[in-house]
Structure 1
Amino acid sequence: MTEAKEVIVTGAGIMGASIAWHLTKAGAKVTVIAGSGAGGVATPNSFAWINASWGNPEPYFRLRIRSMAEWTRLANEVPGIPLQWCGGLCWDLPRPELEAYAAEHSAWGYGIERVDRAGAARIEPNLTELPDFALYVAEEGVAEPVAATQALLADAERRGARLLTGVTATALVRANGQVSGVDTSAGRIVADEVVIAAGAGSPALAATAGIELPIGTPPGLIVHSRPYQKLLNGLMIGDRLHMRQTAEGRIIAGSDFGGADPGMDAAATARDLFAAMKAMLRGADGLELDFHTIGYRPTPVDGFPIIGRAEGAGGVYVAVMHSGITLAPAVGLFAAREILDGDRDPLLDPYGLARFTQ
C-alpha cells in the first residue's frame, strides 16, 4: 500500500475548501492554511451567482456548465451546503446582444427562455422597473458562499484534514527546482505538493518560488440589507443593478455581479447603491442598509482561470480565478485527480499557466 500524499492547500475560500475536500476524500493527507479564517477574503464578498452566462467562449462555457452539474453532486455529498437553483433574469445587455447570446448559448444547450415585460413580472413580481425584453435561465442558482465554504472545510476536517486558522503562509520552500513545503507564521510545514488557492494573495506567495502569476485584483463593492421579508425569487441581472436575496433574507446588490467601483468615498457609493436597489423593489419601505463589503477579485489578465502545475517549479499547483463560486466543485474534483494521479481533465487544457509564456 502506497503512503498517502501530503498536500498543503494555501487559502480557505471556496476554491481552497473544494480542493482540500476533494483531496481528503481521495485519500490525501491535507493541511489547509487559513490565514484569515474559514471563508477566505474574496469568498465572503462574492455575489455567488452560479452560471454559464454570456461572454463565455465555448470551451469556458463547457467547463462552467460541467461545474454547475458538479454543484448538485457536491451538495448531495456534503452536509449543510446551502445551494438553490433559483433562476436568473437577465437584461444587462442591449437587445441585439441579448439575442446573440441567447442564440449562441441555446445552440450549446443552455436553457434560455425569452420573456417580455409580462413574463418578467411573473418571475419577479416585486420589481418596480420591468424590462421590455429579458432572458430567463431557470437552471442558474446560488450557493451561499461562506456557509458552503465552512461546510466543505468542516467535512474535510471530519475526514482527517488539518485546518490551521490564523496561520499565514509567508513563502514557499524550494530546493533544486522543487517546492517541498511552506514557511508560515507558525513555522515550516513540509509536504509533497503545495496548492496555491489564496485568491488575491496568490501572486505574492508564488513569487517566493520565482513563479509569476499575471493577476489583477479589481475591487468590487456590494451592499447588504438587514434580513427582510421575501421580495426576490431569484437572481436579477439588470442593466443598472444586479441583486438577489440570500438564504437569511438579506438583499445584496452591486452595479454588476462583481460589485461596484467603490470610488473615492465607499460609504457614499454604498448609500447611493442601496437607495437605487430599494427604489427597484415594491414593498421595500422598511428595508435597511446593514453593511457593505469591498472584495478584491483575483482576476487573471486574460479573464480566464489559471489551473494547473507551475512549470519550472515542481510540487506547486495553482488554482486562481475570478469565477470561484461557479467553478469550485469541478476544479476541486479535477485538481485532486491531477495532483494525486497525474490525470488532467481535458476541460482544463486551455487554462494552464504556460499560456502566458508561449
Structure 2
Amino acid sequence: MTATKQVIVIGAGIIGASIAWHLARAGAQVTVIADSAAGGIATPNSFAWINASWGNPEPYFRLRTRAMAEWTRLAQDLPGLPLSWCGGLCWDLPAAELETYAAQHSAWGYGIERVDRAGAARIEPSLVEPPDFALHVAEEGVAEPVAATKVLLADAQRHGAKIIASTVTALVQTDGRITGVDTSHGLMAADEVVIAAGVGSPDLAATAGISLPIETPPGLIVHSRPYQKLLNGLVLGERLHMRQTAEGRIIAGSDFGDADPGMDGEATAHELFAALQASLRDSDGLELDFHTVGYRPTPIDGFPIIGRAEGMDGLYIAVMHSGITLAPAVGLFSAREILDGERDPLLAPYGLGRFAQ
C-alpha cells in the first residue's frame, strides 16, 4: 500500500462515508467532496434495513451476509454507531414463496425461524392482525442512516480526512488517466477518484466518457412524530413495511423498495400513514410528521457496481441500491482494492465491465 496515496471521494452518503473512513484509517490522504449535507440524497430517505433477505442469488447473499458481519466489526471500532440488531418479522410474500425463501436461505445459513400467529404476536404484540404464518430473522437490523454517516465522516476527519462542500462538475483526464476533478471551487488533483455519488454518479462518469446503466426509482417513506414504543423490530407485512427509529418515530413504506409516491405524493403519504396507524394497537395518538421521497441509485440488473472503470486508470466506482446493508463491506473492500490492488472475490460479479458483454 502507498500510505500517502491521495484519494478524492465524491459523495457523502453512507457508501462514500464508509469508503472514506476505511481509506483514512488505512493511511490514505482522503478528501470527501459533496454538494449536500452528510448523508447525501438517498441515505436520509432510506428505510435502513440491514438484511440478506429474499430475492438474492447465492453470490449476492454471500456479499450481503458478509456486510452484515462487517456492521458488527464497524460497531466495535466506532462505539457511537447507531446500530440495532432488532430482528425482522416478514410475511410479505405468498405462503408458498415464503417457504421457498425460508428453505433456500436456511440452507445457506441464514437464521430463519418460522412462526405462527401466536409467535408473531409475541414478537410484535402491537400488531392488530398478526399473520398466520411469518418468518423471523433475529440477526437482521437497522442503522440510523444519517447518524451513522455522520459518525463515519467525523471519525474519518479524526484520521486526517478533509470534507469539502463543493460541486464536482467533471472528472479531469491526463493521458488516458483520471488525475483529479474540476469543482465549483477549482481543480483538485488526486491519485485516485472514487465516484460514490448515488443518483448523481452517471452524469459524473459521463464526463470521462463512461456510461453507468442506472435507474432511479422513487421511494416514499412516511415518518410519524416521536411516540411511545410500539414496535420491537422490523415489520415486513403485505404492502406495509415499518419500524420504529431510535428517537421513537415510526417510519413506513409500502413494499420492499419503499413506496412509489404516484402522481400525488401527499395523498399517497396520508393513505400509507392511515394504513400504518390501522395496523397497530394503541396508535390513536400517532401523528404523521412528514414524508420523504428518495431516488434510489439502482443499476439496471439490480446488483451493485463496485470497482475500477475498465480502460480508465485512476477511477473507482461504487454505486448501488441497498447501500445501508452493503456499506461496511464495500468500504473495506474498496479501500483494499484502491490501496493494495487486492480485489475481494465477493466483488467478482459486480464490476462495470459486465454491462459491456
Letter of the aligned partner of 1:288 in structure 2?
E
1:307 aligns with: 306
The whole-number CA distance in structure 1 between the counterparts of 2:79 and 2:103 is 38
- Relative distance call for 1:2 and 1:75 in structure 2 (3 A) is closer
2:26 aligns with: 26
Q: CA deviation at 1:225?
A: 0.3
Does the CA contact (< 8 Å) of 2:261 and 2:293 recur in 1? yes
Amino-acid identity (%) = 79
- Relative distance call for 1:2 and 1:10 in structure 2 (3 A) is closer
Q: CA deviation at 1:311?
A: 0.8
Q: What are the superposed Cα offsets for residues 159-208 of structure 1, whole Å, 9 maximum, x if unpaired? A: 1000012x111110012210000111111110000000000000000000
Does residue 337 of structure 2 align to residue 338 of structure 1? yes
The whole-number CA distance in structure 2 between the counterparts of 1:308 and 1:84 is 29
Q: CA deviation at 1:34?
A: 1.7
2:86 aligns with: 86
2:6 aligns with: 6
RMSD (Å), alpha carbons: 0.9
Q: What are the superposed Cα offsets for residues 285-339 of structure 1, whole Å, 9 maximum, x if unpaired? A: 0000000000000000000000000012110000000010000000100000000
Letter of the aligned partner of 2:215 in structure 1?
G
Q: CA deviation at 1:257?
A: 3.8
2:71 aligns with: 71
The whole-number CA distance in structure 1 between the counterparts of 2:81 and 2:59 is 28
Q: CA deviation at 1:37?
A: 1.4
Does the CA contact (< 8 Å) of 1:46 and 1:258 recur in 2? no
**SS of 2:220's equivalent?**
strand
Structure 1 alignment gaps of length 5 or more: none
Q: CA deviation at 1:211?
A: 0.6
**SS of 1:97's equivalent?**
helix
Q: What are the superposed Cα offsets for residues 54-89 of structure 1, whole Å, 9 maximum, x if unpaired? A: 000000000000000000000111242100000000
**Structure 1 segment 231-242 matched on structure 2, within 5 A:** 231-242=230-241
**SS of 1:67's equivalent?**
helix
Letter of the aligned partner of 1:341 in structure 2?
D
1:45 aligns with: 45
The whole-number CA distance in structure 1 between the counterparts of 2:2 and 2:194 is 21
Letter of the aligned partner of 1:38 in structure 2?
A
The whole-number CA distance in structure 2 between the counterparts of 1:265 and 1:329 is 36
**Structure 1 segment 210-225 matched on structure 2, within 5 A:** 210-225=209-224
1:347 aligns with: 346
Q: What are the superposed Cα offsets for residues 234-287 of structure 1, whole Å, 9 maximum, x if unpaired? A: 000001200000000000000014221111111010011000000001010000
Does the CA contact (< 8 Å) of 1:311 and 1:354 recur in 2? yes
1:197 aligns with: 196
The whole-number CA distance in structure 1 between the counterparts of 2:13 and 2:79 is 18
1:327 aligns with: 326
Does the CA contact (< 8 Å) of 2:3 and 2:26 recur in 1? no
1:292 aligns with: 291
**SS of 1:128's equivalent?**
coil
Q: CA deviation at 1:3?
A: 5.7
Does residue 245 of structure 2 align to residue 249 of structure 1? no
The whole-number CA distance in structure 1 between the counterparts of 2:328 and 2:255 is 23
Q: CA deviation at 1:100?
A: 0.3
Letter of the aligned partner of 1:236 in structure 2?
V
The whole-number CA distance in structure 2 between the counterparts of 1:285 and 1:183 is 53
The whole-number CA distance in structure 1 between the counterparts of 2:177 and 2:80 is 38
Q: What are the superposed Cα offsets for residues 11-52 of structure 1, whole Å, 9 maximum, x if unpaired? A: 000000000000000000000012101110000000000000
Q: CA deviation at 1:219?
A: 0.4
Letter of the aligned partner of 1:177 in structure 2?
G
The whole-number CA distance in structure 2 between the counterparts of 1:257 and 1:224 is 17
Q: CA deviation at 1:2?
A: 5.4
The whole-number CA distance in structure 1 between the counterparts of 2:95 and 2:139 is 22
Does the CA contact (< 8 Å) of 2:90 and 2:236 recur in 1? yes
TM-score (norm 2): 0.99
2:163 aligns with: 163
Does the CA contact (< 8 Å) of 1:338 and 1:344 recur in 2? yes
| Number of residue equivalences | 357
**SS of 1:256's equivalent?**
coil
1:59 aligns with: 59
The whole-number CA distance in structure 1 between the counterparts of 2:141 and 2:256 is 13
1:178 aligns with: 177
TM-score (norm 1): 0.99
**SS of 2:89's equivalent?**
strand
The whole-number CA distance in structure 2 between the counterparts of 1:193 and 1:304 is 24
Does the CA contact (< 8 Å) of 2:171 and 2:178 recur in 1? yes
Misfit runs of 4+, over 4 Å: none
The whole-number CA distance in structure 2 between the counterparts of 1:324 and 1:120 is 29
Structure 2 alignment gaps of length 5 or more: none
